[in-house]
Amino acid sequence: MPHIIVSPCIGVKDQSCTEVCPVECIYDAGEMFLIHPDECIDCGACVPACPVSAIFPEEDVPAGEEEFIVRNKAFFGL
């Protein structure tokens, strides 16, 4: 499962996650970053790099943040 970036990223966009991603699968989606689900290798390098704790494995997205799974896939046309 790919990782998903959720609401704490909105308006922050620190870029720490993009700097550590070995496959460069984190994209600027305007108000936040999103992870391309087909490119993500599920390494988890981005998780500890995020200063606002906004990145989760898809199956662990917190309750109330599930809309970001849909938003993420829609952004990439999946």
Instruction: Work out the pLDDT band at 78, boundaries 50, 70, 90.
Output: confident
pLDDT tens sequence across 39-62: 999 999 999 999 999 999 999 999
Q: What percent of the chain has pLDDT over 70?
A: 99
Q: In the chain, what are the domain boundaries?
A: 3-75
**Residue 13: pLDDT over 90:** no
As a CATH number, domain 3-75 is 3.30.70.20
Alpha-carbon span 44 to 22, nearest angstrom: 10
Query: What pLDDT shows up at residue 74?
Result: 95
The chain-wide mean pLDDT, for the chain, equals 94
Q: What are phi and psi of 73, to 5 degrees?
A: -65, -40
**Residue 1: pLDDT over 70:** no
- DSSP E strand boundaries for the chain: 3-5, 26-28, 33-35, 55-57
Q: In the block, which residue shows the tokens 């995020």?
A: 50
